[in-house]
Amino acid sequence: MYTNENLMEKIISLCKRRGFIFPGSEIYGGLANAWDYGPLGVEVKNNIKRMWWDRFVRRRSDIFGLDAALIMNPRVWEASGHLKEFSDPLTECRKCHERFRADQLEDAHACPACGGELTDPLQFNLMLKTYLGPAEEKANEVYFRPETAQGMFVNFKNMLDTMRPRLPFGIAQIGKAFRNEITPGNFIFRTREFEQMEIEYFIRPPKNNEWEEQFDMWRREMEQWIADLGVDASRVREVEIPDGERAHYSKRTIDFEYDFPFGRKELYGLAYRTDFDLKNHEGYSGENLKYRDPETLEEFWPHVIEPTWGVDRSVLVTLLEAYREDAEKKRVYLKLPPKLAPYQAAVFPLLSNKSALIEKAENIYKSLQSSSSKLHVAWDERGNVGKRYYAQDEIGTPWCVTIDFQTLEDDTVTVRDRDTAQQVRKSIAELDDYVKEMIGW
Ligand code: GAP
C-alpha cells in the first residue's frame, strides 16, 4: 500500500496548479464530479490513447478501428440488455436523505453518514437519458451510451462487408461513455462522463474451451500494457469475478484491480461475452449478423473476448505511480514514462537577458519542436535555471536542455535528467537522436 499520506490531495492539487486537470465549470462553483483536462493533462491523456491505438490498431493487422456515434437507436439498449439489467441497487436514508449504493455498504440498514434507517434498495438504471428533437416525449427518448462496446456490435456487418476480415479479428474504439453513477467520486476515478478504450475480439464458437487461449492472450496483453504505463505490478491484482456478480452478458470476467490510495478498486476488465450481443442484435434488428466461413461456407455467430480500459483511470494510475518527493533536494517530480509525459524536453537559455543565448536557444527549440520530430518541447526563460528545473520536474519533463556560454563556442549544451538530476554535455547535432534514443523511439 501507499506510504505517502494524502497522496490523492497532493495529486489533485498538483493537477490544478500546473494545468493538468481542473474542476469542471469551476467559475460557477463546479459541477459535482466533473473534471476538465488542461493543457498538460490533455497531453498525457492523448499520449495514453495514442499508445493504445498504435499498439492495438495500427501495429496489428487483425484489429480495425471505429468511431461510432455516441447516441444510438434506443433499440440497441433493449437488445444489449442494458435497459433491463444495467442497474445498481439504490438506497436512501430516511433521516438525512443521502443516497448510497446498497452493495457497497457494510451495514445494509444503517446510514453511514448519520446512522438513520435506510430504505429497501431499488434497482436504479444507470443509463443517462435525453430527448432528440424539440419534443420531450417518450417517442424521442434516447440514451447516451454507457459503454462504447455496442457501437462495435452494431457495425459488425459493416466490418464484414468492407474489410472482409477472417476470424479471429477485432474492432477497437476509444470514446466517451456516460453512466448516472449513484456514488461518483475519488477525483477522475468514478465520474458520470468518462472515456473508454475497448476491443471486441471475435473468435470461432469455441470447442473444448479454446476461447480460454484467446482470453489468456488478452490477459497477457493487458498485463504488458499495465507495465508500460509505469505501474508497479505489486499494486495490481487479477480478480476472478464469481457467478452472480458478473455483468449480465459475461461468462467469465477478470477485473484488474489496483491499490488506489482510497482502496483496492477496478482499473480494467476482461470479459468473455460469448455470442450474447451478436445473437441478440440479430434477433432485435432482423439483420443477419453471422460470419460465413470462406472455406466451409458454414454460418455462425462468432464469440467475443472483450478487454476494456478506462482512459481516465489510466491517467490517474499513471500520475499516482509517477509522483515522487525528493526530500534531499526538496523537490517534487513526476517520474512519468517519457513518451507519456506532457513534454519530452524543455529548452532554456541560461540567462534571459543575453540576446545571443536566447537566439541560439530559440533555434534549438524550433528544431526539436519541428514537425519532423515527434517531440513536444517546452520553452522557459523565466527566473533562474534551478527554479526552471524544479518547475519541469513537477510536470514530469524528462530532459532539460540548457544553452550557456560554452554553447556559443562549441555548439554543445547541457542535458539534465529529471530522475537523477545529473547533467551531461551533448552536441546540438546529436540532441534530437539522443532524446529519442532515451525514449526508445
Ligand atoms: N464494455 C464493458 C464495460 O463497459 P465496465 O467494467 O463497466 O465494462 C470498463 O467498464 C472500464 O471503464 C472500467 O474497467 C473502468 O476502467 C472504466 N469505467 C467504468 N465506469 C467508470 C466511471 N464511472 N468513471 C470512470 N471510469 C469508468
CATH of the domain at 213: 3.30.930.10
pLDDT at 228 over 90: yes
Q: Is the pLDDT of residue 1 over 60?
A: no
Residues 161 and 219 in one domain: yes
pLDDT tens column, 249-306: 999 999 999 999 999 999 999 999 999 999 999 999 999 999 999 999 999 999 999 9
Q: Cell 443517462 belongs to which residue?
A: 128
SS3 291: strand
Band the pLDDT of 87: cuts 50, 70, 90: confident
Does 161 have pLDDT greater than 60? yes
d(CA 307, CA 65): 15
pLDDT digits (tens, 9 = 90+) for 303-328: 999 999 999 999 999 999 999 999 99
**Confidence check: pLDDT of 362 > 60:** yes
User: How far does residue 310's CA lie from ligand 1's centre (Å)?
Assistant: 6
At residue 59's C-alpha, the angle toward residues 68 and 203, to 5°, is 65
Residues 20 and 150 in one domain: yes
Which residues are paired to 246 by β-bridges?
A: none
- CB of 249 within 6 A of ligand 1: the answer is no
In this predicted structure, the answer to whether residue 192 has a pLDDT above a threshold of 80 is yes
Tell whether 242 is covered by a domain.
yes
- Residue 126: the pLDDT is 95
- Residue 117: Cβ within 10 Å count: 10
Q: Which long-range contacts (CB under 8 A, 24 or more apart) does 23-31 make?
A: none
Of 320, 354, 374, the position where a domain reaches its end is 320
Q: What are 397's three cell numbers? A: 519533463
Say if ligand 1 is within 6 A of residue 308 CB.
yes
Task: Give a yes or no: residue 215 inside a domain.
Answer: yes
Residue 214 near ligand 1, beta carbon < 6 Å = no
User: 207 pLDDT band (50/70/90 cuts)?
Assistant: confident
Q: How many domains does the chain have?
A: 3
Confidence of residue 206 (pLDDT cuts 50, 70, 90): confident
Cβ of 147 less than 6 Å from ligand 1: yes
Clarify whether residues 244 and 108 are in a common domain.
Answer: no
Ligand 1 center–CA 176 separation, angstroms: 11
Separation of 139 CA from ligand 1 center, angstroms? Answer: 29
- Per cent of the chain over pLDDT 90 is 93
Query: What's the average model confidence in pLDDT over 359-373?
Result: 91
Res. 21 pLDDT band, cuts 50 70 90: very high
Atom of ligand 1 nearest to the CA of 146: 4
In this structure, is residue 82 part of a structural domain? no
Strand partners, 425: 414
* Ligand 1 close to Cβ of residue 43 (< 6 A): no
Q: Are residues 229 and 366 in the same domain?
A: no
Give CA separation, 426 vs 272, 387, 406, 414, 435, in Å: 52, 22, 11, 6, 11
Which residues span the domain enclosing 142? 7-75+127-320
**Residue 30 CB: number of other CB atoms within 10 A?**
13
Any domain includes 326 = no
256 Cα nearest atom in ligand 1: 14
Helix (H) or strand (E) holding 203: strand 193-203
With respect to residue 156, please indicate whether it lies within any of the assigned structural domains: yes
The atom of ligand 1 lying closest to the CA of 148 is 1
Q: Please state, in angstroms and rounded to a whole number, the distance separating the CA atoms of residues 88 and 245.
A: 12
Phi-psi region of 195 (alpha: psi -120 to 50; beta: other; left: phi over 0): beta
- The reply to whether 30 falls in a domain is yes
Instruction: Indicate the angle between helix axes 311-322 and 7-17, nearest 10 degrees.
Output: 100
The number of the ligand 1 atom at minimal distance from the alpha carbon of 311 is 16
- Distance set, CA 7 to CA 187, 189, 322 (Å): 12, 14, 11
Same domain (yes/no): 251, 173: yes
Domain assignment of residue 422, yes or no: yes
90 Cα–ligand 1 center, Å = 19
Whether 76 is in the pocket of ligand 1, judged by its Cβ within 6 Å, is no
Q: Which 3 state secondary structure label does DSSP give 71?
A: strand
Band of the pLDDT at 4, cuts 50, 70, 90?
confident
Q: Whose CA is nearest to atom 24 of ligand 1?
A: 190
Task: Please indicate whether residue 48, judged by its CB atom, sits closer than 6 Å to ligand 1.
Answer: no
Q: Are residues 424 and 381 in the same domain?
A: yes
Residue 147 alpha carbon, nearest atom of ligand 1:
4
Residues 111 and 143 in one domain: no
Ligand 1 nearest atom to the CA of residue 189, by list position: 25
Chain position carrying cell 496489428: 60
Q: Can you give the pLDDT at residue 30?
A: 94
Question: What local confidence, expressed as pLDDT, does residue 2 receive?
Answer: 63
State whether the beta carbon of 198 lies less than 6 angstroms from ligand 1: yes
Q: Is 149 in the pocket of ligand 1 (CB under 6 A)?
A: yes
Q: Give the number of C-alpha atoms closer than 13 A to the C-alpha of residue 327, restricted to the C-beta side.
A: 1
Residue nearest to ligand 1 atom 18, measured at CA: 310
Residue nearest (by alpha carbon) to ligand 1 atom 9: 308
337 within some domain: no
Same domain, 141 and 274: yes
Cα separations (Å) of 397 from 22, 132, 308, 336, 377? 20, 45, 29, 8, 9
Alpha helix segments (H runs only) across 237-332: 276-285, 311-322
Please list, in sequence order, all residues whose beta carbon lies within 8 angstroms of the beta carbon of residue 34, skipping any fewer than 6 positions away.
23, 24, 25, 191, 192, 193
Q: Are 285 and 197 found together in one domain?
A: yes
Ligand 1 atom nearest the C-alpha of 314 is 16
CATH classification of the domain holding 348? 3.40.50.800
Q: How many residues belong to the chain?
A: 441
CB 268 less than 6 A from any atom of ligand 1: yes
Please tell me whether residues 117 and 134 are part of one structural domain: no
Give the mean model confidence (pLDDT) for residues 390-412.
97
Is any ligand 1 atom within 6 A of the Cβ of residue 312?
yes
Same-domain status, 118 and 151: no
Q: Which residues contact 356 (CB under 8 A, 6 or more apart)?
A: 408
Residues 191, 308: one domain?
yes
How far is 233 from 317, CA to CA, in rounded Å? 12
The structure's pTM equals: 0.95
Place of cell 512519468: 336
Q: Which of 196, 236, 268, 273 to mutate to test the pocket of ligand 1 (most atoms within 8 A of CB)?
A: 196
266, 267, 306: which to mutate for ligand 1, most atoms within 8 A of CB?
266
Q: Is the CB of 152 under 6 A from ligand 1?
A: no
Strands (E), 364-439: 377-379, 399-403, 412-417, 423-427
C-alpha pair distances (Å), 273 with each of 128, 170, 291: 23, 13, 17
